[in-house]
């Protein structure tokens, strides 16, 4: 297992406290085996990251193992592409399952054998009601269910039918295998739940070998048992399934019985953590794919430029509890900012406005030395070119300053150029509809270090890029995908597709100083005063870098 560095200093969460007790009492002979069991029906999202950090983190902490198990029992929705994406994402997050890669489908033969065993013990029967009829006779929270008319079939008849289900003699929906438990149980999960259904579908791993597939609840506990899992960690909605988990293992009298422990799932503001919803966003073209940088998927966060340690730190900070709640998006964003704090900083203009320095000679050019980080000296320094024509940020200029606190450029006002001179806006060239298209400014050539006016103070400092040296770059300004904090649970009849943020991706043609264009693709930098950006490896070309905005400098949502 790969060490993830920071983990050992943190205090125990409630699950780790349970494990300490189990180890003290010798419950599992001191062994700790966990698993992360995604269904390969979509990409992993940041909620899954919480579960990954927990399962792998617990195993690492106790010197145990963690399986990466594909819970692949529903062939209609699962693909090999999803399997590969899940593996890539878990690895990228910093976890290594070694040889412990498994697939529930690896156990189909054994699961089938256990099912025959349940039939032999009189604890499972083939039911010939339709799925709708089964649902209709299940009862409600206040009323018991109605026993199936097929409940008392003999062991021989059940075995015969179940074998013929497997042999492919029946169509989807003709029969199912059900556990025989208690139709009056207050827990609906215990009312003779379905264990197997006929599904004549090709499976991405087992091909056409099977036409019956086991249900999740049946598969999960037995897979845990077969892998020697000791602590089966899952989210709270499975609490009501635990009696069934235990029933299957108890009824089969397995020699090892893993302990299921539930914790609360991650809910995050301004996004949705449900593969079904994320799938809709992809399928209906609201985003470019599962790895769209606006998606809360691990692949999306990676493409945006977020680093895995920021995600792990987030999972660490939110902790593991049993209380449901929704985490503020700003908590994730804070982790992302904190992680990027020590990356280099440089000058880039996202929405350019031309500045001409009227008293600066056409043929002159200077190179100013600028530190790559104000605090991190080890990042060194670079030379920033300067000349008569510059780009500045369009919103660093206003015709009419809104108030006295305004520190940027306006007609007659002065600002200092970062690392450079003080300039004054003398004249504004306007376009047809009155917008500024060029500022004509004069520069105080004595205002840099060593000059007579080096100490002269002006209110504002702005960033800039030399127009002669600057490299044109595509700026992809990503923002939150939804405008509502709870897009998945709107109470007013709107759906999540009604509250998509129209500005979740804004494209701009900007300019960057040569240093930025020369970085390796995949680098992360701070554009001074603007935000953190990622030199996008897939879209960037040497002559035309593409920068994703990972995150703004400050939270501008609250
Ligand atoms: P979704 O609702 O997104 O489809 P799921 O639970 O169906 O999620 P699985 O692939 O079955 O997705 O999940 C694999 C594991 O990840 C499960 O153990 C599940 O409990 C856990 N998990 C899924 N979503 C979250 C979440 N939001 N927070 C914490 N753990 C999660
Ligand atoms: Mg699931």
> Are 318 and 266 within 8 A, CB to CB?
yes
> With a 6 A CB cut-off, is 235 part of the ligand 1 pocket?
yes
> Are 513 and 465 within 8 A, CB to CB?
yes
Catalytic residues: 39, 265, 275
- Which distant-in-sequence residues (6+ apart) come within 8 Å of 99 by Cβ? none
Nearest ligand for residue 274 CA: 1
Residue of 336, 287, 298 lying closest to 314 (CA atoms): 336
- Per-residue confidence band for 211, with pLDDT thresholds at 50, 70 and 90: very high
- Per-residue confidence band for 15, with pLDDT thresholds at 50, 70 and 90: very high
Distance (angstroms) between ligand 1 centre and the Cα of 534 equals 29
Would you list the domain boundaries of the chain?
14-263, 275-340+472-552, 351-467
Buried b (16+ CB within 10 A) or exposed e, 449-481: eeeeeeeeeeeebbbbbbbebbbebbbbbbbbb
Place of tokens 């670079």: 382
Distance (angstroms) between ligand 1 centre and the Cα of 481 equals 21
**275-340+472-552, superfamily in CATH?**
Ribosomal Protein L25; Chain P (2.40.240.10)
> With a 6 A CB cut-off, is 274 part of the ligand 1 pocket?
yes
Residue 33 has pLDDT above 90, yes or no: yes
> Are 158 and 118 within 8 A, CB to CB?
no
> With a 6 A CB cut-off, is 265 part of the ligand 1 pocket?
yes
CATH class of 351-467: mainly beta
Residue 302 has pLDDT above 70, yes or no: yes
> Would you call 451 helix, strand, or coil by DSSP?
coil
As a CATH number, domain 14-263 is: 3.40.50.620
Which tens digit of pLDDT belongs to each residue from 92-130?
A: 999 999 999 999 999 999 999 999 999 999 999 999 999
Q: What is the structure's pLDDT at 558?
A: 65
Query: What span, in angstroms and rounded, lies between the C-alpha atoms of 444 and 416?
Result: 10
Which tens digit of pLDDT belongs to each residue from 166-202?
A: 999 999 999 999 999 999 999 999 999 999 999 999 9
275-340+472-552 and 14-263 share a CATH fold: no
Distance (angstroms) between ligand 2 centre and the Cα of 493 equals 26
The ligand 1 atom nearest the CA atom of 238: 20
Buried b (16+ CB within 10 A) or exposed e, 159-172: eebbeebbeeebee
Residue 69 has pLDDT above 60, yes or no: yes
Which tens digit of pLDDT belongs to each residue from 340-387?
A: 999 999 999 999 999 999 999 999 999 999 999 999 999 999 999 999
> With a 6 A CB cut-off, is 275 part of the ligand 1 pocket?
yes
- Per-residue confidence band for 3, with pLDDT thresholds at 50, 70 and 90: very low
- Per-residue confidence band for 556, with pLDDT thresholds at 50, 70 and 90: confident
| Mean pLDDT of the residues in the chain | 96
> With a 6 A CB cut-off, is 50 part of the ligand 1 pocket?
yes
> Are 55 and 97 within 8 A, CB to CB?
no
Residue 8 has pLDDT above 80, yes or no: no
Query: What span, in angstroms and rounded, lies between the C-alpha atoms of 504 and 485?
Result: 14
């Amino acid at each position: 297992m790969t060490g993830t560095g920071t983990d050992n200093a943190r205090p125990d969460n409630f699950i780790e406290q349970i494990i300490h007790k189990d180890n003290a009492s010798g419950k599992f002979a001191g062994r700790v085996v966990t698993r992360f069991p995604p269904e390969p029906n979509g990409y992993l999202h940041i909620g899954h990251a919480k579960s990954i950090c927990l399962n792998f983190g617990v195993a690492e902490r106790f010197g145990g193992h963690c399986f990466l198990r594909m819970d692949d029992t529903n062939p209609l929705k699962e693909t090999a592409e999803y399997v590969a994406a899940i593996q890539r994402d878990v690895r990228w997050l910093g976890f290594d399952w070694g040889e412990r890669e498994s697939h529930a489908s690896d156990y189909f033969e054994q699961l089938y054998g256990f099912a025959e065993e349940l039939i032999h013990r009189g604890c499972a029967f083939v039911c010939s009601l339709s799925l709708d009829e089964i649902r209709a006779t299940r009862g409600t929270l206040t009323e018991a269910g109605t026993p199936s008319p097929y409940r008392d079939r003999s062991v021989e008849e059940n075995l015969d039918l179940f074998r013929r289900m497997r042999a492919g003699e029946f169509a989807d929906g003709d029969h199912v295998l059900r556990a025989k438990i208690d139709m009056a149980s207050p827990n609906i999960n215990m009312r003779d739940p379905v264990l197997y259904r006929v599904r004549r579908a090709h499976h991405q791993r087992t091909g056409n070998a099977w036409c019956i597939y086991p249900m999740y609840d049946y598969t999960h506990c037995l897979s845990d048992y077969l892998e020697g899992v000791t602590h089966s960690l899952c989210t709270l909605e499975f609490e009501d399934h635990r009696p069934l988990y235990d029933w299957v293992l108890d009824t089969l009298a397995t020699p090892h019985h893993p302990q299921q422990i539930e914790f609360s799932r991650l809910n995050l503001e301004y996004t949705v953590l449900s593969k079904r919803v994320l799938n809709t966003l992809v399928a209906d073209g609201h985003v470019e794919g599962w790895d769209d940088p606006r998606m809360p998927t691990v692949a999306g966060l990676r493409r945006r430029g977020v680093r895995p340690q920021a995600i792990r730190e987030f999972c660490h900070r939110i902790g593991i509890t049993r209380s449901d709640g929704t985490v503020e998006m700003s908590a994730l964003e804070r982790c992302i900012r904190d992680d990027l704090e020590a990356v280099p900083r440089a000058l880039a203009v996202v929405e350019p406005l031309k500045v001409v320095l009227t008293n600066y000679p056409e043929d002159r050019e200077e190179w100013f030395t600028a530190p790559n980080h104000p605090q991190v000296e080890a990042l060194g320094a670079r030379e920033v070119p300067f000349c008569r024509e510059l780009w500045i940020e369009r919103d660093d200029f206003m015709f009419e300053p809104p108030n006295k606190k305004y520190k940027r450029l306006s007609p007659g006002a002065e600002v200092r150029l970062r690392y450079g001179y003080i300039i004054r806006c003398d004249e504004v060239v306007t376009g047809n509809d009155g917008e500024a298209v060029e500022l004509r400014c004069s520069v105080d050539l004595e205002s840099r270090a060593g000059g007579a006016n080096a100490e002269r103070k002006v209110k504002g400092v702005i960033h800039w890029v030399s127009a002669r040296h600057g490299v044109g770059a595509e700026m992809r300004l990503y923002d939150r995908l939804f405008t509502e904090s709870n897009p998945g649970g709107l109470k007013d009849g709107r759906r999540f597709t009604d509250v998509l943020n129209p500005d979740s991706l804004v494209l701009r043609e900007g300019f960057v100083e040569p240093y930025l264009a020369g970085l390796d693709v995949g680098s992360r930098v701070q554009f001074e005063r603007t935000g953190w950006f990622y030199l996008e490896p897939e879209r960037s070309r040497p002559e035309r870098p593409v920068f994703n905005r990972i995150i703004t400098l400050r939270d501008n949502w609250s």
